[in-house]
Amino acid sequence: MSSVKKIGVLTGGGDAPGLNAVIRAVVKTACNAGVTVLGLENSFDGLIYSDMARPLGPKDVTGILRLGGTILGTVNRGNPFAVPIETSEGTFNYADRVMEMFHKIELDALVCIGGDGTLGISYEFYKRGIPLVCVPKTIDNDIVGTTSCFGFDTAVSFATDAIDRLHTTAEAHRRVMVVEVMGRNAGWIALHGGVAGGADVILIPEIPYEPEKVAESILKRDELGARFSIVVVAEGATVKNQGRIIVEAAHGGHAERLGGAGKACADALEHLTGKETRHVVLGHLQRGGAPTAFDRALATRFGGKAVELILRGQFGKMVANNPPDIVPIPIGEVVGKTKTVPLDYDLLQTARALGVSFGD
Ligand code: F6P
């Protein structure tokens, strides 16, 4: 019999389709096991400001399975430990305040749903004594230890649909269409979306590219009679021996904001091929909207497993997809690491064998 009577649930970092499905699964599973749930708003802010925690019961989560975003709100604040927190009750050290409030509102454990930043913050609080379980979240699919995260399938489906649409207009005008997708450090969305959409060129952060090689592959397609090309570029893709293209430098613990890789690629290709070239940026459209069936099921499994681990007293763990199972892995094995696309990944090799250019 578990001694856990009351848990908090929070969502941190950038959103991803499926967050609400996790919240729903956590609330329903916990309540059915006789555990009270407090929804903490805007990530750990719910443990800082006394008016940002609210009870959640099954009725509060009815109908949210299919909704994008998060009913709890989220923040992405870089390193929150770095700055003091101003509240109506005074100024506090961030970590001290969270610890104090966790006990004050009589929580027994936390479910922290988030990406690498939230995993890192949660791990700090776990080491300071908060019993917690993490649920990994990223559309980029770059969290180690789990084969996939909810949100990734939705993002890939959206990118694939966009590429399908670009195909028809590219072919009609015999143009090169460049589509920039998300993927800071890893090219999972570009690779999976690119292959599913039948892209001719896929540029990912793991393989710095040479614009001349990409141009060559486009002109070769022209020779074969295919007078249009689709190029998928991850936002973190780089030209060989050059840095990433950013719109805002890193500051105050915030990572640099990426953007412009698609435009830079399109400009270079127009110049090198002489072909009319257009670019589109899918951006946050990939993070919005309803999660796919796969992501709803994965998110639900993650949420259910997180509560199961809490009831069994297995803290300091992240739930992970290890088909066919959802398994617990120590958070310490995950934080600070990035799961990039292995160069011998079969989908990458298959794409190459099909004639897709990676610009290398
Ligand atoms: O980590 C997911 C991600 O989608 C990245 O690919 C992207 O660089 C980042 O979030 C953008 O986040 P935001 O604009 O919300 O800061």
Instruction: Name the closest-CA residue to atom 12, ligand 1.
Output: 14
pTM of the complete model: 0.96
Q: Quick one: DSSP state of residue 289?
A: S
Ligand 1 centroid to Cα of residue 162, in Å, is 19
Q: How far is the C-alpha of 180 from the C-alpha of 280, rounded, in Å?
A: 6
Structure-token match 């690491």, residue found: 337
Q: How confident is the model at residue 165 (pLDDT cuts 50, 70, 90)?
A: very high
Within 6 A (CB) of ligand 1 lie 14, 76, 115, 138-140, 182-184, 235, 258, 287
Tokens linked to 24: 């729903």
pLDDT digits (tens, 9 = 90+) for 120-142: 999 999 999 999 999 999 999 99
Give Cβ neighbours of residue 346 (< 8 Å, ≥ 6 apart). Answer: none
Given 15, 45, 116, 140, the catalytic residue:
140
Measure Cα distances from 285 to 15, 204, 255, 308 in Å: 11, 19, 20, 33
pLDDT digits (tens, 9 = 90+) for 235-251: 999 999 999 999 999 88
- Is residue 344 flagged as an active site residue? no
Ligand 1 centroid to Cα of residue 184, in Å, is 7
Q: How confident is the model at residue 80 (pLDDT cuts 50, 70, 90)?
A: confident
Instruction: Give yes or no for residue 253 having a pLDDT over 90.
Output: no
Specify whether the CB–CB gap between 279 and 232 falls below 8 A. no
- The reported pLDDT for the residue numbered 79 is 80
Starting from the edge strand earliest in sequence, which strands make up the sheet with 277-281, in order? 201-203, 229-234, 176-181, 277-281
Ligand 1 centroid to Cα of residue 14, in Å, is 6
Q: How confident is the model at residue 78 (pLDDT cuts 50, 70, 90)?
A: confident
User: What does the pLDDT average to over 34-51?
Assistant: 96
pLDDT digits (tens, 9 = 90+) for 259-307: 999 999 999 999 999 999 999 999 999 999 999 999 999 999 999 999 9
Tokens linked to 162: 């966009």
Q: How far is the C-alpha of 114 from the C-alpha of 121, rounded, in Å?
A: 10
Segment of 83-87, 90-94, 215-219 carrying the highest mean pLDDT: 215-219
Q: How far is the C-alpha of 209 from the C-alpha of 216, rounded, in Å?
A: 12
Instruction: Name the closest-CA residue to atom 8, ligand 1.
Output: 184
Cα 228 from chain centroid? 31
**Closest ligand 1 atom to 115 CA:** 1
Instruction: Give yes or no for residue 16 having a pLDDT over 80.
Output: yes
Ligand 1 centroid to Cα of residue 335, in Å, is 18
Q: How confident is the model at residue 18 (pLDDT cuts 50, 70, 90)?
A: very high
Q: How far is the C-alpha of 132 from the C-alpha of 37, rounded, in Å?
A: 14
Q: Quick one: DSSP state of residue 286?
A: G
